[in-house]
Structure 1
Amino acid sequence: MTADRIERDVLIDAPVERVWELLTEAEHVGRWFGDAGAEIDLRPGGEILFRWSEHGDARGRVEVVERPHRFAYTWAPFGPRGAGIEPEAPAPGNSTLVEFTLAAEGGSTRLSVVESGFAALDGDAETVAGHLAGNTRGWPLELADLVAYAAGTPASR
């Protein structure tokens, strides 16, 4: 049986509203999460597109927008990827749910991330375990990039 979730949290030296911007505005997400841009239609049902120069694109769908404390999306980062390959839309069997929860801690923000749904991915146990392992390795790196980005980028407002 495959584990079903990844849980991480990090303290970011920025107020909740600022961290919300960094999580939900494409101009920021495309710098700390993807390295080749992002598109976000910030409403439940809205589409998301994450871009990486090395890995290709991944599509998502906004599930929850509760400014400034909760943001969630499903995404399909596990399909075929590369130049000229259209990324798959999230659907049962090819996507997981990513949930961000933000809470103030003094002038900083405690950001919790939970990615779940790995056990429901299509594929054999080895393939699914590989997806879980890859994202387990990836989230600490992405969150470290977010912390650094928050420290070095002026507020957009």
Structure 2
Amino acid sequence: MERISEQTLVPADADSTWRLITDPQYFQQWYAFGGAEIELVAGGAMVLRWDEHGSFRATVVAVEPGRRFAFRWLPEPGDLVEITFSPEGTGTLVRISESGALEDAATSAMAWRNSLSLLAKLAQA
């Protein structure tokens, strides 16, 4: 099993950061650029889209407002993505970890790094 982890300091409080990460209208601005559907309950369905890659399904695993959001790519047992939040001064430290049988860990890590950069910029807008 492989595991990657990336983090960034988002210049917003945990509640605002939570909204940016779990509300589909914001989620598509920093990660799933072709659109996102998120049923924000444990066991809920997710569909994430990219124009160049297509649609991907996932299942929500954990919903802990302001602390942790996790989902698992389908089909089972897909990779697990965990997003955790920690207050840090006036901002929020966001850590994204993905674990499982990663096809290309380096590419996944780069994609999460880029997405976290976009998330931090979105928080400033």
Give the structure 2 partner of residue 42 of structure 1.
40
* Distance in 2 separating the partners of 1:65 and 1:26: 14
Number of equivalenced pairs: 125
Cα RMSD after superposing both structures = 1.3
Q: Name the counterpart of 2:10.
A: 12
- Tell whether the 8 Å contact from 1:44 to 1:65 is kept in structure 2 after alignment: yes
| Matched residue, 1:97 | 80
Residue type matched to 1:115 in 2?
Answer: E
1:8/1:140 contact within 8 Å kept: yes
CA distance in 2, matches of 1:47, 1:143: 23
Matches for 1:135-150 after TM superposition, within 5 Å:
135-150=108-123
Amino acid at match of 2:75: P
Question: What is the TM-score of this pair, normalised by structure 2?
Answer: 0.94
Q: Secondary structure at the match of 2:32?
A: coil
TM-score by length of 1: 0.75
Alignment of 1:40-119 (within 5 A): 40-75=38-73, 89-92=74-77, 95-118=78-101
Q: Is the 8 A contact 1:61 1:90 kept in 2?
A: no
CA contact (8 A) 2:9 2:92 kept: yes
AA partner of residue 90 (structure 1): P
Give runs of ≥4 in structure 1 deviating > 6 Å.
none
Identical positions, percent: 36
Which residue identity does 1:137 align to in structure 2?
M
More strand by share: 2
Mind listing any 5+ residue stretches in structure 2 that lack a counterpart? none
User: How big is each residue's C-alpha offset from its partner over 1:86-144, in whole Å with a ceiling of 9 and x where there is no partner?
Assistant: xxx3312xx2000011011121000111111126xxxxxxxx3xx22220221111111
1:46 offset after TM fit, Å?
A: 0.2
- 1:151 aligned residue: 124
**Higher relative contact order at CA 8 Å, sep ≥6: structure 1 or structure 2?**
2
